[in-house]
Amino acid sequence: MMLRNDLSRLRYRRLPLDAGTPARTTRPPLLVSHEAQAKNGSESPRFAVALAMTAATVLHAAKTPASRVWVVDDNPDICLSLELLLHSDTMNVRAFANAQQLYDAMNAERPDCLVLDYQLPDADGLAIQTRSGDSDVKIPIIFFTGTADIQAAVAAMRHGAVDFIEKPGTDGQLLAAVTAALLAGRAHQARRRAAVHYGRAIQTLSPREREVLDAISQGLRNKHVARRFDISPRTVETHRENAMRKLQVRNTAELIRVYTMVSTDRNERSPLR
């Protein structure tokens, strides 16, 4: 009984509504109920509660402000249903009815995760996905749709979508996908900050130190690097040690990892056209 009461508070939380608007204390019956999910064997109430508690614990442990989760769907009942499902102390949820509303909001701030219908009145999912990925900060996207086909799903995943869920989906699918997207987004931001930090450090290397570092990152041994640049193996070792000192890494493996991370980050931000 305690579990079912906890589930009720989790899923049917009342959101603030404008004055004069009749209060709705239950979610629209658009997402499959826990009872139906359990009957179909796809999910149980206990699993949904455990997943939601795990998601909240993991995101809260990051000690960061509540994540911005934006929902874009032209069906207002689906927007409300997703708001009620996802809204928590660790997630602030906003809903938009079309792509233009989303673009206008993104002029002021950017979400940490998008839950996006593939077919909207004014744009398709790939167009929104492409536009939202134009900046340095990539937005994790989850497609939640009932109109797209296999080819659309494949295209979306190839363009970096976190998940592609067919409506009505399950609460567990959505909670797991959003949690994974938020964690992946934070990991990406952490890598980006590290890449920027080490990128500045690499700028302090001499031209020869950069050449040696690039050769080492390709897997060449000291003697092969020495032959390439017509220098002694001891000189190669000196350049390598100087690079390690300037980048503040402890060994060659870390040196290669850092250099590769910076190179990958630059390629992602300035891809060849």
**Residue with more model confidence, 43 or 225:** 225
Rounded-to-integer distance, Cα 129 and Cα 221, Å = 42
Model pTM score: 0.60
Using CA atoms of 213, 216, 218, 222 in order, give the dihedral in degrees to the nearest 10.
140
Please tell me the predicted confidence (pLDDT) of residue 10.
38
Structural domain of residue 210, as residue ranges?
Answer: 204-269
Q: Check whether residue 257 and residue 225 sit in a common domain.
A: yes
Which residue do the tokens 């928590």 mark?
88
- Pair of tokens at residue 271: 């891809």
Partner residues linked to 8 by β-bridges: none
Q: Which of 139, 158, 187 is the last residue of a domain?
A: 187
Q: Check whether residue 33 and residue 150 sit in a common domain.
A: yes
Q: Check whether residue 115 and residue 208 sit in a common domain.
A: no
Partner residues linked to 93 by β-bridges: 69
In a domain, 192, yes or no: no
Q: Check whether residue 91 and residue 173 sit in a common domain.
A: yes
> What's 231's domain CATH number?
1.10.10.10
Q: Check whether residue 144 and residue 250 sit in a common domain.
A: no
Query: Which of 38-42, 146-150, 183-187 reaches the highest mean pLDDT?
Result: 183-187
Three-state DSSP at 116 gives strand
Continuous segment of H or E residues that includes residue 124: strand 123-124
Least confident of 14-28, 89-103, 223-237: 14-28
The total number of structural domains in the chain stands at 2
Q: Average pLDDT in the 213-224 region? A: 92
Q: Which residue type is seen at 63?
A: K
Q: Check whether residue 41 and residue 145 sit in a common domain.
A: yes
Q: Which of 141, 157, 187 is the last residue of a domain?
A: 187
Three-state DSSP at 64 gives coil
The pLDDT tens digits for 79-119 are: 998 988 888 878 889 999 999 999 999 888 888 899 999 88
Give the pairing of strands 141-145 and 163-166: parallel
Q: Check whether residue 147 and residue 208 sit in a common domain.
A: no
Please tell me the predicted confidence (pLDDT) of residue 135.
58
**26 phi/psi in degrees, rounded to 5:** -130, 155
> What's 143's domain CATH number?
3.40.50.2300
Continuous segment of H or E residues that includes residue 141: strand 141-145
Three-state DSSP at 237 gives helix
In a domain, 86, yes or no: yes
Q: Percentage of residues in the chain with pLDDT exceeding 70?
A: 72
Q: Check whether residue 173 and residue 233 sit in a common domain.
A: no
- Pair of tokens at residue 69: 């989760």
The pLDDT tens digits for 23-75 are: 444 444 444 444 444 444 444 444 444 444 455 555 454 446 788 899 999 99
Give the pairing of strands 67-72 and 141-145: unpaired
Asked whether 39 and 167 are in contact (CB, 8 A), the reply is no
In a domain, 173, yes or no: yes
In a domain, 161, yes or no: yes
In a domain, 15, yes or no: no
Q: Check whether residue 166 and residue 214 sit in a common domain.
A: no
DSSP state for residue 79 in the 8-state scheme: H
Using CA atoms of 66, 72, 78, 84 in order, give the dihedral in degrees to the nearest 10.
10
Q: Which residue type is seen at 140?
A: P
Continuous segment of H or E residues that includes residue 233: helix 233-247
